[in-house]
Amino acid sequence: MRSRLVASGIVAALAAVAIIFTRARNFEVALIAVLAFATAQVVIEVLGALKLQDRMLKGTIIRLSASVIALSALFSSSLTGPNDGYRLLVMNVAIVSYGFFAIEAFKVARAGFKSAAARDHITLAGLNLVVLVVYVLDIMGNYRLGEIPAAGIFAAYAGIVAVLSGLKAFDPKQSG
């Protein structure tokens, strides 16, 4: 469990650093970071799920993780026009935040809402929900974030995920 959290924190931190400290502030760098973050987090979630005894949680995590990759691939292959890069970035972040929101929400339901383990999942689910709402409002056309804010919001999200994963990984109350 601890190694999975450390790996998740490192992946999230690398995604945030890649966006924040690159000189090219455009959707291409952000899209690469989003897809790398999503792929690595999906692998981490699936590897963690394979060790679970709860078959329902294991199956749900694997299915939701597969849907994140499948939907990202579907939209990436369908949006190939010269001006589709920004839409591709926004859609992929929305898909990623939806997938991880659903995974965390299901973990909360399985752990029990009042348990100590559920609090961390509630925090991550809430963070994913906020990011999802922001990007879905952009997709719906209510407002346009723009390339730099869209990339910056994802970098902030990845940074927060890195900190939360690191705190949880090195919490003395965590077992193993």
- Residue 25's CB is within 10 A of a number of other CB atoms, namely 13
Residue 12 confidence (pLDDT): 92
pLDDT higher than threshold 90 for residue 160: yes
Residue 176 confidence (pLDDT): 42
- Cα distance between residue 158 and residue 17, in whole Å: 9
pLDDT in tens, 94-118: 888 888 888 888 888 887 888 877 8
Residue 25 confidence (pLDDT): 66
DSSP 52-77: -S-HHHHHHHHHHHHHHHHHHHHHHH
pLDDT in tens, 27-55: 788 888 888 888 888 888 888 888 878 77
- Cα distance between residue 26 and residue 45, in whole Å: 29
pLDDT in tens, 130-147: 989 998 898 888 888 888
Q: Token digits for 90?
A: 């926004």
85 or 12, which is more confident?
12
pLDDT higher than threshold 90 for residue 159: yes
Q: Which residue pairs, CB below 8 angstroms and at least 24 apart, start in 171-176?
A: 173/116, 174/1, 174/2, 175/1, 176/1, 176/2
pLDDT in tens, 81-96: 777 778 888 888 888 8
> What pTM did the predictor assign?
0.84
